[in-house]
Homo-oligomer: A and B are copies of this chain.
Amino acid sequence: MRTTLTERQALRRDRVIEAAMALAAEGGYDSVQMREVAARAEVALGTLYRYFSSKDQLLVAAMAHWTRQLEGRLAARPAPGDTPADRVVEVLLQASRALERAPELTAAVVTALSSMTTDDPEALEFAREVYSVMHDIIETAMADGDIPERHAVIRVLGEVWFAVLTARVRGWADPGEMAIDLEAAVRLLVPGPADARERAIARIRA
């Protein structure tokens, strides 16, 4: 494999990702059919597989693409709030709402992400990038240093985020439950106003 792409190759690759994202946005994971992606991108099926070794890798690449866009939009609008906990809640809910604006696309990329295994190191790299963006977003919102367990808290929040997002795209939870669970996790993990903590916790019923 050559390392630098010719211009026509870069165009082809972009067309493929865009075709995949368009199909995903229309009908979710199942609608992203490799033959159809190839057709829309005006590329042969074999070429598609030369660029992306599997449907999941393609979708995870699309996710990375999308995440970079999303990151900019979230970063431009710093989360309001007087305490770290308030700001973290706010930024997570902002992210949820952003994903909710393209639910099928979200479902498709989350599905791809969670069916990805380590036998695809390149796709793992994309996944790691997504995680690190999430980490940065939360860390910025916590701003900043005097919480010694910061890393551990962020890591746990990342895990909760993954679980809640999975539940959402699988239909196990609706956007409201997603928000409740996220806020409860943040209030339990990040020091902040006691009354907000109580309220968030009270919203969880067995």
Contact = CB atoms under 8 A, between A and B. Distances in A.
Interface in A145-169: 148-149, 151-153, 155-156, 158-160, 162-164, 166
A118 B171 contact: yes
Interface in A6-25: none
A162 B171 contact: no
A97 interface: no
Interface string A109-128: 00100111111000010010
B201 A184 contact: no
B163 A159 contact: yes
Contact of A164 (B117, B118, B159, B172): B159
Interface of A: 111, 114-119, 124, 127, 135, 148-149, 151-153, 155-156, 158-160, 162-164, 166, 170-172, 181, 184-185, 188-189, 200-201, 204-206
Given A151-B205, A156-B184, A162-B163, 14 more contacts: A114-B170, A118-B170, A119-B171, A127-B172, A135-B206, A148-B201, A151-B206, A155-B204, A156-B160, A158-B163, A159-B159, A159-B160, A188-B189, A189-B189
15 contacts: A114-B114, A117-B170, A118-B170, A135-B206, A148-B201, A151-B201, A152-B188, A156-B160, A156-B181, A156-B188, A159-B181, A160-B160, A160-B163, A162-B166, A188-B189
